[in-house]
Structure 1
Amino acid sequence: MILIYAFIFAGFLLALYLLFLFVCALPVNTSKEYENNSRFYRGLLYSATSAVLKLLRIKVKVAGREKLPAGQKVLFVGNHRSNFDPIIQWQSLKSWDLAFISKEENFRIPFFGRFIRRCCFLSVGREDPRKSLAVFDKAAGLLKRQEVSIGVYPEGTRSVKGELLPFHNGVFRIAGKADVPIAVMAVSGTERIRENIPFRGTEVHLDIVDIISPDEVKTMRTVDVGKRVRKVLEDRLYGGEEIL
């Protein structure tokens, strides 16, 4: 009987929490791109993310965080294996206020879509390259004002088989325009989360493998930045061997 009451109470608390998130999401204008990072909504985002990770029993091991510049916003780039990648990265790197350049449909996810919009995440479509350039300019502006760090995946989409897909090197121009470092992050294990739900937990590794300083970015072509990023990711993920 006590166990039944405990489940009922837990369900009641969950319902209250979801109602709270729903009410908080209502004021967010879904047709607006915000230029100021809301501490309130970012706190809600972190709270909801923490609950999801605990519920799914996802354990994240982070290495190399000490390489990141303290008190400075950064352009984060990395490989992309799962829809869980950005969730784990913004939660593990909270001190840098990560905002991702993300596909439009992610902004329609209940609660999360509105919260990430209010935290300066940027929506990008894949059809019109000119719109992508405009989004890159907005991202550079946010970085230059030190409003948020920006996260972007040079591959442009998830890699189903785990190999590194061809890079869209134009994303690296964001760092040059904003005069900020590029942090290269390698993620592994996220590709197993879906298959492990609901019976097994998942261990995920997030490594900061390289920092490219603003001075280095200025002297390099975007294609050369892309080659360097690709090389350090291959070294970390595949032991230096490119997976074809």
Structure 2
Amino acid sequence: MDTSGLGGFLRNRRFGSCFDASSEPNPAPKPEPNEAAGRQQPAELDECYPDDDDDGLFAVLISWVRIMVCFVSMMFTTFIWAMIMVLLLPWPYQRIRQGNIYGHVTGKMLMWILGNPIKMEGAEYSNERAIYISNHASPIDIFLIMWLTPTGTVGIAKKEIIFYPLFGQLYVLANHLRIDRSNPTAAIQSMKEAAGAVIRNNLSLIIFPEGTRSKNGRLLPFKKGFVHLALQTRRPIVPLILTGTHRAWRKGSLHVRPAPLTVRYLPPIRTDDWTPDKIDDYVKLVHDVYVKNLPGSQRPTTSSSSQNGTSGRS
């Protein structure tokens, strides 16, 4: 961001408000994730915003207006940055950087329009060269990831994203990575190519290890792709814990509620000594970190949790 006057704006990626009455600075995190704090804070969030839809007609209308403003605003910034990307076609890395700047500007703008209060924790881990992973239960997760991932980060999406109007074309222009999920062999080959691009260009990655969006906010089993990427790049894994987004904007709904959100970075998980014969163990290890740090309403049920590591595909 040294090439843009937006540097200061983009570095200030915190909203001024939090969802509780106090605005005391967060204590410095310990080297290991604080399991007790990880359970207590989300539990308070569950009580803070009960799970009901009776918000009144006026609130629903305001929500629709916010969504429409988000859509129009996103189309505007996407069009502007698409033109910038076309001009930068000969410079692939600059397109990646511009794609990140687009995400920072657009993601922060969309969250401001939606107006959900946000609490940030562990931001000191947000500028690592790493594989960032996040749980995924709401469209809001996309906005947060766009806003919060550091410059020099690429996403990985299915190859069909190119058919998404305007946004898909910008994704490709920004030199983000696509994988072929038509069969396991093609997926593994795509992962190898993605890992090679990350190493050659000294990039970070962002990926949703569940592979799809949870319908009810509960954590799904993790696919194995992020472990394959860690083995091939030796990047540390930084878990990004999103809580409350499933209450704010549910899957299939056009109603955004003013539920408070928490974005929490955990300390990096080193992968230097990982070996290919323990892939299932690593998937479970990281999945367990999420289970310990999510509120009860977002933890997997016993049946879905037991499937983890057996149903995941690369």
TM-score by length of 2: 0.60
Asked if 1:51 is matched to 2:51, the reply is no
Asked if 1:167 is matched to 2:222, the reply is yes
Q: Which residue of 1 aligns with 2:279?
A: 222
Q: Which residue of 1 aligns with 2:208?
A: 153
Q: Say which SS state the counterpart of residue 133 (structure 2) adopts.
A: strand
Structure 1, gaps ≥5 residues long: 1-13
1:163-197 per-position Cα deviation (integer Å, ceiling 9, x unaligned)? 22222224301111112111122112221333596
Asked if 1:85 is matched to 2:141, the reply is yes
Is the CA contact (8 Å cut-off) linking 1:37 and 1:118 kept in structure 2?
no
Q: Which residue of 1 aligns with 2:168?
A: 113
Asked if 1:64 is matched to 2:122, the reply is yes
After superposition, the Cα gap between the structure-2 partners of 1:220 and 1:130, relative to the gap in structure 1 and judged at 3 Å, is: closer
1:200-220 per-position Cα deviation (integer Å, ceiling 9, x unaligned)? 434322212342113243487
CA-based RMSD: 3.4
Is the CA contact (8 Å cut-off) linking 1:107 and 1:123 kept in structure 2?
no
Give the counterpart letter for 1:48 in structure 2. T
Worse overlay, 166-175 or 38-47 = 38-47
Asked if 1:73 is matched to 2:129, the reply is yes
State the distance in 2 between where 1:24 and 1:77 align. Answer: 25
Alpha-carbon shift at residue 17 of structure 1 (Å):
9.3
Alpha-carbon shift at residue 222 of structure 1 (Å):
1.4
Give the counterpart letter for 1:81 in structure 2. A
Is the CA contact (8 Å cut-off) linking 2:248 and 2:256 kept in structure 1?
no
Alpha-carbon shift at residue 75 of structure 1 (Å):
0.9
Asked if 1:40 is matched to 2:98, the reply is yes
Is the CA contact (8 Å cut-off) linking 1:73 and 1:146 kept in structure 2?
no
Give the counterpart letter for 1:143 in structure 2. V
Alpha-carbon shift at residue 74 of structure 1 (Å):
0.7
State the distance in 2 between where 1:141 and 1:198 align. Answer: 41
State the distance in 2 between where 1:154 and 1:23 align. Answer: 31
Worse overlay, 39-48 or 228-237 = 39-48
After superposition, the Cα gap between the structure-2 partners of 1:222 and 1:54, relative to the gap in structure 1 and judged at 3 Å, is: same
Alpha-carbon shift at residue 233 of structure 1 (Å):
0.3
State the distance in 2 between where 1:17 and 1:78 align. Answer: 22
Is the CA contact (8 Å cut-off) linking 1:77 and 1:152 kept in structure 2?
yes
- The answer to which structure has the higher strand fraction is 1
State the distance in 1 between where 2:80 and 2:146 align. Answer: 23
Alpha-carbon shift at residue 154 of structure 1 (Å):
2.1
Give the counterpart letter for 1:228 in structure 2. L
State the distance in 1 between where 2:211 and 2:221 align. Answer: 9
1:121-171 per-position Cα deviation (integer Å, ceiling 9, x unaligned)? 222343322221122112212321344311122221111122222222243
Asked if 1:123 is matched to 2:181, the reply is no
Q: Which residue of 2 aligns with 1:94?
A: 150
State the distance in 2 between where 1:43 and 1:230 align. Answer: 30
Structure 2, gaps ≥5 residues long: 1-70, 303-314
After superposition, the Cα gap between the structure-2 partners of 1:235 and 1:114, relative to the gap in structure 1 and judged at 3 Å, is: same
Q: Percent identity?
A: 23
State the distance in 2 between where 1:17 and 1:90 align. Answer: 12
1:99-118 per-position Cα deviation (integer Å, ceiling 9, x unaligned)? 22123454444443233323
Asked if 1:184 is matched to 2:239, the reply is yes
After superposition, the Cα gap between the structure-2 partners of 1:128 and 1:83, relative to the gap in structure 1 and judged at 3 Å, is: farther
Is the CA contact (8 Å cut-off) linking 1:90 and 1:99 kept in structure 2?
no
Tell me the matched-pair count: 225
Alpha-carbon shift at residue 20 of structure 1 (Å):
6.9
TM-score by length of 1: 0.74
Q: Which residue of 1 aligns with 2:301?
A: 243
State the distance in 1 between where 2:181 and 2:223 align. Answer: 12
